[in-house]
């Protein structure tokens, strides 16, 4: 898993039936000081009700993202309240 910030949303009308009803959010990985790392447009399916600007926990793999018959390779599995550092 990794921590990322929600920075946008993808609108897609024509898509796989596995993604029907999925909320597709653009996320950017952050370091442990919450700085976003510039990267290509990574898209994760939301499963916890995340919103713009929030810091979230992203998981790879299909097992997490299988609610409501949605299937995805990256999904948002938690809202990050705080990163506590050593």
In the complex, the residues that contact its own copies under the rule CB under 8 A are 1-3, 6-16, 18-19, 24, 26, 29-32, 37-45, 47-49, 52-53, 57, 59-64, 71-74, 77-86
Q: How far is the CB of 68 from its own copies (least distance, A)?
A: 14
Task: Round to whole Å and give the CA distance between 86 and 83.
Answer: 10
In the numeric block, which tokens belong to residue 5? 């910030």
How deeply is 25 buried, as exposed, middle or buried, from its count of CB atoms within 10 A (0-12, 13-18, 19+)? buried
Q: How far is the CB of 19 from its own copies (least distance, A)?
A: 6
Q: How far is the CB of 56 from its own copies (least distance, A)?
A: 9
């Amino acid at each position: 898993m990794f921590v990322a910030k929600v920075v946008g949303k993808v609108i897609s009308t024509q898509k796989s039936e596995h993604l029907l009803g999925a909320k597709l959010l653009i996320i950017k990985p952050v370091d442990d000081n919450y700085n976003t790392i510039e990267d290509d447009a990574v898209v994760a399916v939301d499963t916890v009700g995340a919103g713009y600007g929030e810091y979230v926990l992203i998981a790879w793999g299909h097992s997490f993202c299988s609610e409501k018959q949605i299937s995805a390779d990256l999904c948002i599995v938690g809202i990050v309240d705080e990163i506590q550092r050593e």
